[in-house]
Structure 1
Amino acid sequence: MPAAERFFCADAARTRGDPIAGTAPRGFVWILVEYRRAWPTDGFDGLDLEATIKALVSTAAQAARARILLVRRPGRRRHEGPDKWAVLRHEHSGVHRQQWGTWSRDEDLAQIAAALAVPGHAGGPPVLLICTHGRHDPCCALRGRPVARALADRWPEDVWECTHVGGDRFAANLVVVPDGVYYGGLDADSSVTTIEEHLSDRIHPDHLRGYTDLLPPQQAAVAAALRRFGPAGRTDYTIAETTREGDHWRILLTGRSPHPHCVEVELQAHRSPPCRLTCRGPAASSVIVYEPTSVRTL
């Protein structure tokens, strides 16, 4: 009897044509902890750190609603000097702030809790995070590592591999922080093109999962506007109004010139048919999909 064919969630999602827009997790603050050894399945939570330090960082992160990601440089398992940590913020005003430090002992990570209590420095180049967390989901490693290598060849100081960011079936996943922009379904070639455009403030809808400061239907509305009217900068569209009647959503976007001044996007929410969403989760489940039904200028 032939062996069962191995299941890969990213392959299955592409075969099904799973919609990618409106799938970015909400978030404004990211904590990065460089860790060059093997990553535990549950990331930072699984590290063997001094208990009080680990609790301090976790509690501070929870209070700030921050996500902790382990990171490492692509293809560079060892280098001289201490590891890095960072606190990256996307403020409601649109200002981006970064604070970086180093650690060589567990006690040094207490700096992260202190950094969460201060604003940090405005500006700085964006950080490109590519999920390669194979212990969490094989697709993340198989699809993420070629993307990380391709991007690191072009932007070596800005690229990090990272632990689980969500949406395994959309691997390779890339998060630009503190911008708070999620991309998915990337390969080596498309990732370079996507980031070239992103850094030129031209965001396209093809690989866009969403902006982390927006709700899922708002993310889907922005992607629909980009698809209808062409690429735009990260802040060229803002949410002016959001209304809901049952499963029907109406989102008004205000556009900055040369984009349309006012765009109305209507979306219908529905649940996808149950299916297997991750490589390691055999149970079938469904997700909410926001399907644009109308995109027009007012």
Structure 2
Amino acid sequence: MLLEQPGPWGAKALTQSRLDPALGRFLESAPETGVRAALIRRPGRDTGRGAARRVLLAHTAPGRSWVRTALTGDPGELRGLDLPALAAGDHGGFGEPHPGGPVALVCTNGRRDRCCAMLGRPLAAELTVAGHDTWETTHIGGHRFSPTMLTLPHGYAWGRMSAATAQHVLAELARGRTVIDGCRGRSAWPRPAQAAELAVRRHETDPRADALEVVDVVGTDGDRTAGERARGRWRVTVARLDGRRHWEVTVTERVSLPASPASCGAAALPQSRMDVLAVRPLLPAPAG
């Protein structure tokens, strides 16, 4: 759920901007329902103060992704949305289908991490000049990979983007295809599943963005996990969306060395990373 909010953003942008604080607190609580909220603004000079705000709603599940858009003169109307239904992929007729190609969201929240401002703003400006549907956005995670970009409707996250690479990514996505270089995974899934899907893409020749889905994530203790906070190993089952092939991917969480800063100006510390240990085709594909 993306709400246009011109003007400055603080480190906790949803409640540290010109947005009504009560609405900001509502948006901060949205993840409890499975919905992620962020603020957006167009690159360039702030000219939207007092105007109607653009709202984008997106669902990023493979084969069921969509983007809906609307203008609102009262952002408080967002509190009337059925967030659990939205998290499940039901937009309830909100707005209109978003026209055209992919949406590029470039993190420029300098109060959260100054690298996002120093590197993200020039990228957003160049993509806008090149004619791409581009928004600056508040924090989207992984700022040590600045400049970062999230693309809709597929929900893929990208890091260390140059203007040329980002334009190539957006051109491919406009054709329904994705690329591996610079991709950090599909945000609909937890981190182990993101790593697993990208690993399978290195074996699978179908470049379509919706070619693959994650059908199961199981911790080494046998418990299913949906959380990025779980430690250890995971067995992730990735399948073609048409069900013709399945893979079992073994993923482990490790500490990345040498130590590096998590953001601009931060102390160098060991960082968590997901490593793929094995990719094993499952033949024949499991029934169902």
TM-score bracket for this pair, using the shorter chain length = 0.7 to 0.9
Task: Find out whether 1:294 has 2:268 as its counterpart.
Answer: no
Percent identical across equivalent pairs?
Answer: 26
Which residue of 109, 131, 136 corresponds with 2:75? 109
Instruction: Give deviations 1:240-276, integer Å, cap 9, x for gaps.
Output: 333332633222222257x972223222322334542
Q: Structure 1 counterpart of 2:252, which letter?
A: Q
The aligned residue for residue 124 of structure 1 is 98
Are the structure 2 counterparts of residues 150 and 182 from structure 1 closer, same or farther at C-alpha, using a change threshold of 3 Å? Answer: same
Are the structure 2 counterparts of residues 251 and 68 from structure 1 closer, same or farther at C-alpha, using a change threshold of 3 Å? Answer: closer
Q: Distance in 1 between matches of 2:123 and 2:206?
A: 22
The aligned residue for residue 236 of structure 2 is 251
Q: Following superposition of structure 1 onto structure 2, how do residues 29-48 of structure 1 map, counting pairs within 5 Å?
A: 30-35=1-6, 37-48=7-18
Aligned length: 260
Instruction: Give deviations 1:189-216, integer Å, cap 9, x for gaps.
Output: 1100011112212111211111122121
The aligned residue for residue 207 of structure 2 is 232
Q: Distance in 1 between matches of 2:112 and 2:172?
A: 30
Instruction: Give deviations 1:68-106, integer Å, cap 9, x for gaps.
Output: 322221224326971423141316572424142233xxx
Q: Distance in 2 between matches of 1:251 and 1:63?
A: 24
Are the structure 2 counterparts of residues 55 and 181 from structure 1 closer, same or farther at C-alpha, using a change threshold of 3 Å? Answer: same
Are the structure 2 counterparts of residues 207 and 267 from structure 1 closer, same or farther at C-alpha, using a change threshold of 3 Å? Answer: same
Q: Distance in 2 between matches of 1:57 and 1:251?
A: 31
Instruction: Give deviations 1:96-122, integer Å, cap 9, x for gaps.
Output: 24142233xxxx221221245662257
Q: CA RMSD in A?
A: 2.9
TM-score, structure 2 as length reference = 0.78
Verify the 8 A CA contact 2:149 2:157 in the aligned structure 1. Answer: yes
Aligned to 2:249, the other structure's residue is in SS state strand
The aligned residue for residue 166 of structure 1 is 141
Verify the 8 A CA contact 2:69 2:97 in the aligned structure 1. Answer: no
Q: Distance in 2 between matches of 1:52 and 1:215?
A: 29
Q: Distance in 2 between matches of 1:252 and 1:51?
A: 42
Verify the 8 A CA contact 1:139 1:171 in the aligned structure 2. Answer: yes
Unpaired segments of 5 or more residues in structure 1? Answer: 1-29
Verify the 8 A CA contact 1:275 1:286 in the aligned structure 2. Answer: yes
The aligned residue for residue 276 of structure 1 is 261
* Farther-moved stretch of structure 1 (175-184 vs 229-238): 229-238
Task: Find out whether 1:96 has 2:66 as its counterpart.
Answer: yes
The aligned residue for residue 128 of structure 2 is 152
Which residue of 142, 155, 167 corresponds with 2:118? 142
Q: Distance in 2 between matches of 1:186 and 1:151?
A: 11
Q: Distance in 2 between matches of 1:206 and 1:161?
A: 22
Q: Distance in 2 between matches of 1:229 and 1:176?
A: 22
Q: Distance in 1 between matches of 2:278 and 2:24?
A: 48
Instruction: Give deviations 1:141-193, integer Å, cap 9, x for gaps.
Output: 2221222122212334x211112111111111111134322111101111000
Task: Find out whether 1:181 has 2:156 as its counterpart.
Answer: yes
Q: Distance in 2 between matches of 1:163 and 1:115?
A: 21
Q: Distance in 2 between matches of 1:205 and 1:212?
A: 14
TM-score, structure 1 as length reference = 0.75
Q: Structure 2 counterpart of 1:31, which letter?
A: L
Instruction: Give deviations 1:199-241, integer Å, cap 9, x for gaps.
Output: 2121112111111221211110111111233452232112233
Q: Distance in 1 between matches of 2:247 and 2:37?
A: 36
Aligned to 2:234, the other structure's residue is in SS state strand
